[in-house]
Amino acid sequence: MTTMQTGKPDDCQNNDCSNLFPMTIDSLRFPLDSTMRIIFTGYFNGIGVEVRSVHEMALLYQMGCFGKGSFSRSKPKRHQSNDSPQIMRKRQFLKRNYWYKKFNTRSETTDSDLFFKEIDELSAKIVSDCENKNVIDLVSSDEDDNNITDFVSPQLDNYNASEKQDMVVVVANSDSEEEDYFANLKPQCCLNKTKLEEKLMLTLQEAFFLLYGLGCLQVVHADKVLNIEQCLELFTETDKHFVTKYVVYHYFRSKGYVVKSGIKFGGDYLLYKDGPGVAHAEFIVIIRNIVEKNSEFNWVSVLGHNRMAVTTLKKVIIAEVVQPNSEIKIPEGLCNYSVRELLLTRNIPVTLNDDFN
């Protein structure tokens, strides 16, 4: 039996118990002293905001667990260049060389010519695969061969310090777990022409919280720094439910939780008390907008979310967003929104009877 109950301070929050529901959303700007304020720079990439500076990436993640690494599960990692080359699989090295050749030729041709050329190549590949009655492969490249001699460096000492940082050690692929893998490793020192730098990826809600809530981020789009109103308009065009999601994000961030995406567990957000690197998330947040009548929210979906939470040792919180009745101006009117928590618990009648007996 699954029941709903309003959130209690002891169950789903660690803030002052005198702070009753519903809690209003307001903007708090820290630090109060403008001379101590640090302004980070993020770049809008179409789906989110990315931070490219290594020092800014470290500060944002260490001072609030904001964002995630583009190549990492959570904390961004950076290759330490201490005169030791990076070790790379042969398959990965060949794929990067394919990218280098493809995108270098892209700059030499116009966009229209390149578009029609790729269409012709793709059509020819589909016809060829259909005639051979094999599996159609649109992902692999023609560069996946065993020849990497063009990139092998016989004399590493002839390169200067900056060029040594571009060197990588290419080893064989580890497709099979054979005992003689390390005996036949045959490493080769090659020149890596495609460097992939890790970035800190911020969601739209995280970026707007840093911009509007804390005032420590500036968002750049099309070589132009956007203000709060322009960012709100851009983020709303990207995600039509941005305002509702941001209200819930701001709500739980104000309570001291680390809020992350919950798509892995079928929810909207995950709530951490200390961050992803310290302990697992305790709550899965499901957002419900009361004003939207056509929103699909029934007991079937509730039971599915609850089942997922039980198998992962978590609890489900349904965050109901109450919008003001009258038209308000955003973002000044965000303080008129309110959030109500519903904590889901699953009680099995057989277990309850055994406890009473």
Could you tell me if 259 and 130 lie in one domain? Answer: no
Q: Are strands 40-44 and 49-51 parallel, antiparallel or unpaired?
A: antiparallel
Among 161, 191, 221, the domain boundary falls at 191
According to DSSP, the residues that pair with 167 across neighbouring strands are 191
Whole-prediction pTM value?
0.70
Secondary structure of 48-101 in the HEC alphabet?
Answer: CEEECCHHHHHHHHHCCCCCEECCCCCCCCCCCCCCCCEEEEHHHHHHHHHHHH
Please count the structural domains in the chain: 2
Local confidence pLDDT in tens for the 357 residues of the chain: 455 555 544 444 433 433 434 445 555 554 445 566 789 999 999 999 999 999 999 999 998 899 999 888 888 876 555 567 778 888 888 888 887 777 765 555 555 555 556 666 766 766 666 666 544 444 454 444 455 655 555 555 555 545 555 788 888 877 666 667 777 777 888 887 777 788 999 999 999 999 999 999 999 999 999 999 999 999 999 999 999 999 999 999 999 999 999 999 999 999 999 888 888 999 999 998 876 655 667 788 888 888 888 889 999 999 999 888 777 888 888 888 999 999 988 776 766 556 555
Q: Are strands 315-322 and 283-289 parallel, antiparallel or unpaired?
A: parallel
Structural domain of 132: 86-191
Could you tell me if 209 and 331 lie in one domain? Answer: yes
Residues designated catalytic: 272, 280, 314
Can you tell me the distance from the alpha carbon of 49 to that of 53, in angstroms, rounded to the nearest whole number?
13
Could you tell me if 283 and 207 lie in one domain? Answer: yes
Could you tell me if 18 and 91 lie in one domain? Answer: no
Q: In this structure, are residues 12 and 349 in contact, taking their beta carbons and an 8 Å threshold?
A: no
Q: Which pLDDT does position 355 carry in this prediction? A: 58
Q: Which pLDDT does position 176 carry in this prediction? A: 61
Could you tell me if 160 and 206 lie in one domain? Answer: no
Among 173, 191, 209, the domain boundary falls at 191
Could you tell me if 155 and 264 lie in one domain? Answer: no
- Any idea what the CATH number is for the domain that residue 49 is in? 3.40.1350.10
| Cα distances (angstroms) measured from residue 301 to each of 123, 298, 308 | 42, 6, 11
Could you tell me if 45 and 153 lie in one domain? Answer: no
Residue 216's SS3 state is: coil
Among 191, 221, 252, the domain boundary falls at 191
Q: In this structure, are residues 233 and 329 in contact, taking their beta carbons and an 8 Å threshold?
A: no
